[in-house]
Amino acid sequence: MLTMKNINRFIVISLALAFLICPIIHADNNNIVKVILTDNGQALINPDMGWTMHYYSNNITNYGSRLEPSDTLEDFPGLSTVYLRVPWAFIEPEEGNYNWSLLDTPAQRWIDKGKRIAIRLTTSENWMRYATPEWVKKAGARGYFYQYGQGRKTTGPSWDPDFNDPIYLEKLDRFLANMAKRYDNNPNVAFIDIGTFGLWGEGHTHASSQTPDDILYSTQKKHIDLHLKHFKNTLLCISDDFVGHNKPGRNFPITDYALKKGITLRDDSIMVQPPPNSWYHAELANSFWPKFPVILEHQHYGGSLKRNAWDKDLWLKSVEDYHASYMSIHWWPRVLLNENKDAIDKINRRLGYRICIKEASWPESINIGTPFEIKTTWKNAGVAPCYPGGYITFTIKDDKQGIVSTHTNDTFNVRSLQPTFPDKEKTKTIITKLNIAPKFKQNFKRNIKPGQYNLYISIGKLDATPTIQLPYNKNDNKKRYYLGKINLLPR
């Protein structure tokens, strides 16, 4: 049984091991070098995982407004994504006139640092009158004024569109088409929320205009299909609240449909209520995480503290229970960091995937042109699969950091490494066959000379380009990690 005691024991042992000397190298009497590597415990920045910083959290003053333009929170370990959540009315205040700069300006600050962005555009907010632009209403779209928590009310301060109205859907369709021109098939975009239905984009209207239950599924499906129509190459996600904020279970018609269409899940939000009601949909996430990265958003940190709902151990447990790949920074970021640094360090050891080499062995000396083998043992120390995948590459370098030879094993993809749990470690041993400068029939001058070289290992593309950061210190700053020396003898 997975308990906080087991989780914390697992994290403490792992952190303690991070202080061991790494790598440990020795050669046996059979001319075999064996290296034992130890996780350095540091946060990793890798595709499809990490911390998502709420630069805009519906209201654009939260929570990036206190950051200088040059401040991209490089001191927040594991921050990979800046999250931009704003009402549609802020982006298209007049029909056909777009304010994309509101998104692109902060986005470029993080993209310049090699990070990515995520977006939610909402059409319903209880803190403003028209989250859907007023010009949509003036064009004839039906809608309802409402009082937050009370439902439809003609004197209510906020207006919701009828989410099935054809005029509203026509205008929304055109808006999403223009949005997709900029952000679909864009490598800088990590994911996009389907946020055009329901209050705050969370897929529910029980506290706002109260869409009738008999048309709820069909309405939600229309908004999913609109996004699928335009975002064909971008990971989409829906809030767990599409099924109801407190309904436990694994299978619901709307999330089953979303999963079938390749859409992932985010939980909005954990730790809104005190224990034992800290979250409701970890079971629901079990259908999603084996295929797609799951995103967690905790309650606004200050609000969670006021409700006595914040618990650092539960924060870590939520990552375990949901097999989460992304975790939010849903408050003033350095306040959250300074008051929770210990918990953040623990989460970084588990969040998403964490591809580790436990040990490697290879011949100390080999003859150029003679086949040989390198044996490596791997594990995924995170809670989720390595969704982008990658292949093992061995790179031989000279003392000037020149690449002498590269060799990629195309038979094993780290995507297949299953997550490791506190009470059970899963490892995989891989044997890679290499041949440095094989002999060809043609006679030509070979550029690989006998001598001692440096052996590096990486995970990445089949063409030997590294893409995945590993938790080891000694590297070439290009995601290649030093294993040891190898002697190349004359042919």
Residue 195 has pLDDT above 50, yes or no: yes
Residues 301-309 have a mean pLDDT of 97
* C-alpha pair distances (Å), 467 with each of 30, 47, 391, 448, 463: 34, 8, 10, 26, 11
Which residue, 358, 478, 370, is CA-closest to 429? 358
Q: In this predicted model, what pLDDT tens digit does every residue of 66-119 receive, in sequence order?
A: 999 999 999 999 999 999 999 999 999 999 999 999 999 999 999 999 999 999
The three-state secondary structure class of 380 is strand
Higher per-residue pLDDT: 2 or 51: 51
Q: In this predicted model, what pLDDT tens digit does every residue of 394-426 receive, in sequence order?
A: 999 999 999 999 999 999 999 999 998 877 888
Distance CA 361, CA 349 (A): 26
Q: In this predicted model, what pLDDT tens digit does every residue of 2-16 receive, in sequence order?
A: 566 555 555 544 444
- pLDDT reported for residue 353: 98
Q: In this predicted model, what pLDDT tens digit does every residue of 234-263 receive, in sequence order?
A: 999 999 999 998 999 999 999 999 999 999
- pLDDT reported for residue 28: 54
- pLDDT reported for residue 25: 57
- pLDDT reported for residue 422: 74
Higher per-residue pLDDT: 264 or 17: 264
Domains delineated in the chain: 4-43+354-489 (2.60.40.10), 50-348 (3.20.20.80)
Residue 477 has pLDDT above 70, yes or no: yes
Distance CA 484, CA 360 (A): 10
Contact indicator for 356, 379 with CB cutoff of 8 Å:
yes
Contact indicator for 80, 51 with CB cutoff of 8 Å:
yes
- pLDDT reported for residue 423: 73
How far apart, in Å, do the first and last CA atoms of the chain sit?
Answer: 56
- pLDDT reported for residue 425: 84
Q: How far is CA 486 from the centre of its chain?
A: 36
* Average pLDDT of the residues of the chain: 93
Phi, psi of 375 (to 5 degrees): -105, 130
- pLDDT reported for residue 269: 87
Which residue, 388, 435, 386, is CA-closest to 409? 435
Phi, psi of 354 (to 5 degrees): -145, 95
Residues 208-237 have a mean pLDDT of 98
In which element (H, E) is residue 433 found?
Answer: strand 428-434
Q: Is the peptide bond before 144 cis (omega within 30 degrees of 0)?
A: no
- pLDDT reported for residue 170: 98
- pLDDT reported for residue 446: 58
Record the pTM: 0.92
Parallel, antiparallel or unpaired: strands 32-36 and 189-193:
unpaired
Residue 332 has pLDDT above 70, yes or no: yes
Per the document, the length of the chain is 491
